[in-house]
């Protein structure tokens, strides 16, 4: 997952609104969001290479999502899969703060990552690069492949767009949120971050929706969560950027 925009406890009805894109190589095998047969209370997509997930929820109201921290200079081999961090949190009933405290002990066993982990009461953020678990207060946040709210162009643009949609009178438009997630506008060169990749690659990765020959946005997910219901919709894209699978779930907590 390379962009997660979320509004936490700022809406009168929904305690959590998530708009997220998962970016990955097209040839990495994955399953769309589904209830896992081995853990039927988990609703999430699944990476079939390492069997973890980039984002999911549970029937008890837990939420987890992970992004990588872009650092091409980190060439360590034999490290653990970041997707297992989100999956393990969804599998257990441990409080988020306790889980993150345990995860922090093994921070050097993983490549750089950002992890969101929450339950019905609290939502936390942790990065093994920053190494400081944070209890999140109400607000609108953006997370890409640096630290939380790092002002990359797509994070700034995405947060502003999500805030505008939330503040528009009437029911929040799910279609407008998906439209936001399909924004393929690239940032101008002078606004690009410098993360150690080439200028061409930096530019390709600067859009909210990414489409290159071998890498791009594989799925978009929109979540609306109340105290007792999770509305979860996912749209999965083929390598030509066209939707080939779409499904919506209602999960009663």
Number of independent structural domains in the chain: 1
| Beta-carbon count within 10 A of 37 CB | 7
Which has the closest alpha carbon to 17: 161, 185, 154? 161
The helix (run of H) or strand (run of E) holding residue 101 is: helix 96-105
Given this model, what pLDDT does residue 1 score? Answer: 61
Q: 112-142, pLDDT tens digit by residue?
A: 999 999 999 999 999 999 999 999 999 999 9
Q: Of 1, 6, 117, 7, which is closest to residue 62 (Cα–Cα)?
A: 117
User: Residue 152: which domain range?
Assistant: 3-252
Instruction: Report the SS3 class of residue 175.
Output: helix
Give the span between the Cα atoms of 93 and 75, in whole angstroms.
34
Are 236 and 219 contacting, i.e. CB atoms less than 8 angstroms apart? yes
Q: What is the pLDDT of residues 36-45, one digit of tens each?
A: 999 999 999 9
pLDDT of residue 170: 84
pLDDT band (50, 70, 90) for residue 146: very high
Taking residues 242-251, what's their average pLDDT?
97
54-100 residue pLDDT tens:
999 999 999 999 999 999 999 899 999 999 999 999 999 999 999 99
Taking CA atoms, 95 is separated from 98, 128, 148, 216, in Å, by 5, 19, 21, 34
Nearest to 210 by CA among 15, 42, 59, 24: 24
pLDDT tens profile 195-211: 999 999 999 999 999 99
| Helices 83-91 and 96-105, axial angle in degrees (round to 10) | 140
Strand ranges inside the chain, DSSP E = 3-8, 16-25, 30-35, 42-47, 55-58, 63-68, 113-118, 123-127, 134-135, 139-143, 215-225, 229-237, 243-252
Instruction: Dump pLDDT digits (tens) for 2-41.
Output: 999 999 999 999 999 999 999 999 999 999 999 999 999 9
Number of alpha carbons in the 13 Å side-chain half-sphere of residue 238:
5
* CB within 8 Å of 55: residues ≥ 6 apart: 1, 4, 18, 20, 22, 44, 45, 64, 65, 66, 86, 221
pLDDT at 169: 86
The pLDDT mean for the chain works out to 96
**What's the pTM?**
0.97
Q: What span, in angstroms and rounded, lies between the C-alpha atoms of 187 and 33?
A: 30
| pLDDT tens, position by position, 163-173 | 999 998 888 99
Can you give the CATH number for the domain in which 76 is found?
3.60.60.10
- Report the distance separating Cα 83 and Cα 86, nearest Å: 6
Structural tokens at position 11:
């809406």
């Amino acid at each position: 997952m390379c962009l997660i925009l979320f509004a936490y406890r700022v809406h009168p009805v929904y305690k959590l609104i998530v708009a997220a894109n998962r970016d990955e190589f097209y040839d990495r095998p994955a399953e769309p969001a589904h209830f896992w047969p081995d853990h039927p209370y988990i609703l999430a997509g699944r990476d079939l290479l390492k069997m973890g997930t980039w984002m999911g929820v549970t029937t008890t109201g837990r939420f987890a999502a992970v992004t990588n921290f872009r650092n091409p200079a980190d060439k360590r081999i034999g490290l653990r899969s970041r997707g297992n961090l989100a999956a393990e949190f969804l599998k257990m009933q441990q409080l988020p703060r306790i889980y993150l405290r345990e995860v922090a002990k093994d921070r050097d066993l993983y490549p750089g990552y950002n992890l969101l982990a929450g339950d019905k009461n609290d939502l936390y953020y942790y990065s093994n690069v920053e190494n400081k678990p944070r209890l999140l207060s109400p607000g609108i946040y953006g997370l890409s492949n640096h630290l939380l709210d790092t002002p990359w162009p797509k994070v700034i643009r995405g947060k502003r767009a999500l805030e505008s949609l939330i503040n528009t009178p009437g029911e929040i438009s799910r279609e407008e949120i998906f439209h936001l997630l399909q924004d393929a506008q690239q940032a101008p060169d002078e606004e690009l971050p410098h993360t150690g990749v080439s200028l061409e690659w930096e530019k390709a990765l600067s859009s909210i929706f990414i489409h290159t020959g071998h890498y791009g946005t594989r799925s978009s997910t929109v979540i609306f969560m109340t105290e007792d219901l999770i509305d979860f919709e996912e749209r999965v894209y083929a390598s030509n950027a066209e939707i080939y699978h779409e499904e919506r779930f209602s999960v009663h907590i």
